[in-house]
Structure 1
């Protein structure tokens, strides 16, 4: 019997995700279905490994003034202290105060997809968030009402990718690309601050 290896476990997770994304890319011909398949891979990964308090799904986000975001591919949100505004037939509307992060999932990395992701995520950034204390193990914290919550996630950047994206991004977004998680050649997640 071989010994446990944490690096091997993480490598196996990476290989599994890469295989799933590659299978979707090679097998599904319809662009919308291909996108849904890629989103599903990322959502299943996050649902498996996030603590139960946090959930993720594809959703719309609404603020206290009734403004809505565009549909977001992946939303990580607090489910413990925040109810859904609306949840019916797989359509979810989540209050802005409960959102920790949003991601746009794309099959290819190019300037057009980066600009598209930026516009969609901007529709979340402009929402009004109220500032209330959030209970957690370290004591309550106050949410920054402009930027929302900080995910604490670490970036994983392929060498030179951030710089290349920043050069391609429209001017007002260049300094806001903060996280890019690249998995093989099979898919990308963007997070803009």
Structure 2
């Protein structure tokens, strides 16, 4: 009989994330350094536990028309079907077609962070995304519609009382569909998820980081695969 405990393993995963975020909060006083440390903790979690078809990085997103998003703390993007990713002077740039999800990561969730994250998410969702018909042995599948890009926030603490609830939801609901956040985690308290009715479910629990990871994986599973990128649309920039 095995001595392993699945419950203990999942608990340990969350405790590791929470402890590392707490150390970053207490150890670094410069806001930029503290923010970079927080981003690193979340990126490490997603890199380790998301399926290998997904890649995670702090990045800019670009479209075939030459438009760029703002820099995003955490971009979850396709690496299996995306033909190119740019890196230059430690900056990562990914094509809009490859993006599955974007997150802003800070130590504390408050009204300012939500508004900031909403605007960052909108700069990605506004980008143009190409999609080509897909050839197969029996013919050609029609071009796949662009998948909805998930947006969210990741933090250690919350400025609201209670940390998850109506005051938080009121701020999340502010703004149009382009700015709406879909899910997120407050590691010290719980996670949230936007449901099919447009409202938010807030779950207070003992293992928020693990619960958020599972919810994200579930949302990605239902998103399916990114469309086939029109690489020629980007190649046109070689002559401009």
Alignment of 1:44-193 (within 5 A): 44-132=44-132, 143-145=144-146, 148=148, 161=164, 163-169=166-172, 171-173=174-176, 176-184=180-188
CA contact (8 A) 2:133 2:142 kept: yes
Q: Which whole-Å CA distance do the structure 1 matches of 2:142 and 2:41 have between them?
A: 32
Taking a change above 3 Å as real, the CA distance of residues 143 and 23 of structure 1, as seen in their structure-2 partners, is farther
Q: How many residues align?
A: 179
Partner in structure 2 of residue 155 of structure 1: none
TM-score, normalising length: structure 2: 0.64
Q: C-alpha root-mean-square deviation of aligned residues, in Å?
A: 3.3
> How far is 1:32 from its partner?
0.5
Q: Which whole-Å CA distance do the structure 2 matches of 1:66 and 1:8 have between them?
A: 48
CA contact (8 A) 1:115 1:170 kept: no
> How far is 1:130 from its partner?
1.5
Q: Per-residue CA shift, 1:53-86, capped at 9, x if unaligned?
A: 2110000000111110000000011112113342
> How far is 1:183 from its partner?
1.2
CA contact (8 A) 2:164 2:189 kept: no
CA contact (8 A) 1:118 1:173 kept: no
Partner in structure 1 of residue 10 of structure 2: 10
Match of 2:109, SS state, is coil
CA contact (8 A) 1:85 1:94 kept: yes
TM-score, normalising length: structure 1: 0.79
